[in-house]
Structure 1
């Protein structure tokens, strides 16, 4: 790299052993592990807060999780982290009533009857989970996955030749799970998800919506940060990263520069191509980032009038909101959490539009107010929880996990186990920190020289 002045000469540089970009659960974990091992670590976050695609904030008169929420005892990394800090899990509500819309007709029953309707179709759909993923925590060591990795979940469901009402209900169920459309969603992701839950679809679904973190996701994120000696820098929007055989140089849009021996890029997959990285990331990484993930839907909180029964409701897979559940029941209002497959179809600020969407799935409720966060429009997320497109395991994951010089990726998008969950983010943060620490150990035998400015 040729330049007439180094970063140090410009007087605006901070030097450390390692830079972690992104203070979600992957970045927080990596920064904690590295800093507690004695490596000076700087943690850069573009937002004015930590915790990534989780966000506990006050809306509608209570603290609401606008992003990721759920944890489970089958998820070892997040469960261990909660135990480390003495944070308990809170069980979610037990639902009594259910409704579902198929063939244009709305049906009602108990929550248990809805699970029974889904049981047979899901058993058929996921019967091969352990066959294709006998080692579910090592997704790249299951060679038969190549046989089904290009198959969409839509195709896999339609191949079951189910009665039309069961087919429609199953499609809506998996539209909820993917928080996106099924025509490019990977069947392998559904099988992988079930396999990591011991091949039991009910246990898999339980992991999605049964336990919350006491005090919310923010409490766990803050506990990890407090257990770290990493230096957090908020509102640091990174615009470029340059690496050479001497180190890495990070520059923010405000002109601040940071140098280090190693760098962990703990950002969502869909964000990677929006940073100028030189030399460029590999073609495989860039193509995977350009394609992104299938989780492009919406999460909307709605407060309605009256004390409602504890219910869940499925609408058609194409509905703006295809799933609704009564989450918080107060004396004279009820707060609903709702999901839909297309963020562009849901205005998170429009109560009148929410009323129309709700009328289509659970008629008779009066909307008072709404709240939410558009993660797809968020330039630092560009997706909701990561659910893979076809071909991700065989064409992308190994390459995304491969270090690129001094740069390593971390995040739930790149996890081996519970990809798409907080657990996967923590797992990936551990892996990236271990590899970066090893590389730092190798670097220690040669004097550090900051890379020069291009």
Structure 2
């Protein structure tokens, strides 16, 4: 007689993908346990009291063109608030500082952004089916976003500015980031790079991302265990066994793994994951940058600032102005270039745009050094869309991967995480109900190993 597992489903990770999957499976009557290695929920979103207000140390912005997150905001009655509209613009090109209006800066990047997104709807006519065109995507997918920019015939000033924009979007080096990934984002915005830009950094959730994920968790009925780090997952035809760092074990009929790609191999899988999944995890995805909050002395008129990808910070914008201070958020493409917790270092980096700026305090979390993330938001490398995505989405026996890293649509956003969690919950439910309907038969599951 087979022993009943401890849970129907164990979800590893309490970010948006994991909580979305847990909620859907719980609503379908399954017993769900969520294991989270950190002492909080949210994964790479983290609303934290810093610099005198609640700040988002990780994922922040949402938009109504992102259907999955917008449906969740509607479900729980949550609204959005805009970031300030920039008035001034500062940019570094040809090694020189320039100052003008925000509109002038947008005009400077327009030709390069248009050239690098022109083919978005050609190659991704239905962007939630990113592999729809099959082999037609392979050559495109071998191109990096930097290579595409170098082919666009831009002036040196245009190139520096638009390369800085894409280094910010990828939160990593443009010679690594995949051109296909850039097109996917723009296709999801209807082919408009301006609307894509708006979706990336304009609207925040009232009450923070924490408010949304707490509402989703409360709606799930799942058991949550914090400080529960999984080291191994072993499976056979009947169940899966998870081993935690303290030596305890837990059995389940299905396991949803939401680890980011860059730390996927921190868990030992038996049987091992497919060669393609393991190669992708070892290679990692593009984003290795930083996000820094800084409180400045003085009340600045809202601005946006850009610098090439080689700069310590590539983009900065105003978020809050009050009581004689200004709070800005800034991004850099390489976390190794700048310690975001070092006030003096951040001040020096910001002085490339604002020579007289005085930084009073800073806030930052190093997601790249974080052992539970190893990356910021997920952005595929050149070659990974056609070379790995389909395999990363394929279940292996009782193990299913979920997360923004594995999304079909808005990879790199909360929307992508929710989308992936919903898809995987459907697959897990099918697996669980197949087990129930045919208890004495071998489940009709994908092979435990793959090519």
Shared fold per TM-score greater than 0.5 = yes
**Distance in structure 2 (CA, Å) of the matches to 1:448 and 1:60:** 59
Aligned to 1:213: 205
1:273-422 equivalences under 5 Å are 273-422=265-414
Q: Structure 2 length normalisation: TM-score?
A: 0.95
| Candidates 82, 86, 89, aligned match of 2:77 | 86
**Distance in structure 1 (CA, Å) of the matches to 2:304 and 2:96:** 16
Aligned to 1:263, what secondary structure does the other structure show?
A: strand
Note if contact 2:5-2:253 (Cα within 8 Å) is conserved in structure 1. no
Aligned to 1:191: 183
Aligned to 2:132: 141
Gap runs ≥5 in structure 2: 442-451
1:182 aligns with 2:141: no
Deviations 1:20-49 (A, max 9, x none): 111100000000000110000111100010
* CA drift at 1:125: 1.6
1:107 aligns with 2:95: no
| Candidates 54, 63, 66, aligned match of 2:57 | 66
RMSD: 1.6
Aligned to 2:154, what secondary structure does the other structure show?
A: coil
| Candidates 255, 259, 269, aligned match of 1:267 | 259
Deviations 1:70-90 (A, max 9, x none): 000000000000000000111
**Distance in structure 2 (CA, Å) of the matches to 1:396 and 1:41:** 29
* CA drift at 1:242: 0.3
Ranges of 4+ aligned residues in structure 1 off by more than 6 Å: none
Note if contact 2:286-2:379 (Cα within 8 Å) is conserved in structure 1. yes
**Distance in structure 2 (CA, Å) of the matches to 1:393 and 1:355:** 38
**Count of matched residue pairs:** 440
* CA drift at 1:323: 1.3
* CA drift at 1:447: 4.6
Deviations 1:282-305 (A, max 9, x none): 000000011111110000111111
Aligned to 2:319, what secondary structure does the other structure show?
A: strand
| Candidates 9, 18, 21, aligned match of 1:18 | 9
| Candidates 114, 120, 126, aligned match of 1:123 | 114
Aligned to 2:61, what secondary structure does the other structure show?
A: coil
**Distance in structure 2 (CA, Å) of the matches to 1:123 and 1:360:** 27
* CA drift at 1:356: 1.3
**Distance in structure 2 (CA, Å) of the matches to 1:353 and 1:14:** 52
Aligned to 1:3: none
* CA drift at 1:355: 1.6
**Distance in structure 1 (CA, Å) of the matches to 2:440 and 2:44:** 34
**Distance in structure 2 (CA, Å) of the matches to 1:120 and 1:92:** 25
